[in-house]
Amino acid sequence: QKEVEQNSGPLSVPEGAIASLNCTYSDRGSQSFFWYRQYSGKSPELIMSIYSNGDKEDGRFTAQLNKASQYVSLLIRDSQPSDSATYLCAVNHSGAGSYQLTFGKGTKLSVIP
């Protein structure tokens, strides 16, 4: 059973602070890692993808990947109230199932004005 674990939160941060979201996964052969943002009642929206160890930055978002530790994180700098949402970590299956994703249950982020 391929598993993706996230802290369910809620994670509360003040406006302007850095929010740090974490994810661990069980499939050591996974190669593709994604962060989706989901507002309440809405569909998941892709915000970051990462495929290599290290950091990947896009605006206020930074994804970090450590395959040896099977760990993915998302940092949100200068957090805004509009960042309040549930963040889903998704990891692809290794091998023949590489186009399947397993999703974590999500971390709910609340940015306090």
Partner 1 sequence: DADVTQTPRNRITKTGKRIMLECSQTKGHDRMYWYRQDPGLGLRLIYYSFDVKDINKGEISDGYSVSRQAQAKFSLSLESAIPNQTALYFCATGTRGIATQHFGDGTRLSIL
Question: Segment 5-34, which members bind partner 1 (CB under 8 A)?
Answer: 31-32, 34
By CB under 8 A, residue 61 contacts partner 1: no
List C-alpha distances in Å: 12 to 69, 87, 109: 26, 13, 6
17, 61, 75, 103: which one binds partner 1 (CB under 8 A):
103
Q: Is 105 in the site for partner 1 (CB under 8 A)?
A: yes
Phi-psi region of 42 (alpha: psi -120 to 50; beta: other; left: phi over 0): beta
Stretch that binds partner 1, among 19-27, 58-66, 76-84, 91-99 (CB under 8 A): 91-99
Q: What do you get for the CA distance between the two ends of the chain, in Å?
A: 40
Residues 72, 85, 104, 107: which binds partner 1 (CB under 8 A)?
104
37 or 79: whose CB is closer to partner 1?
Answer: 37
Does the footprint of partner 1 cover residue 84 (CB under 8 A)? Answer: no
68 in the Ramachandran plot: left (φ > 0), alpha (ψ -120 to 50) or beta?
A: alpha
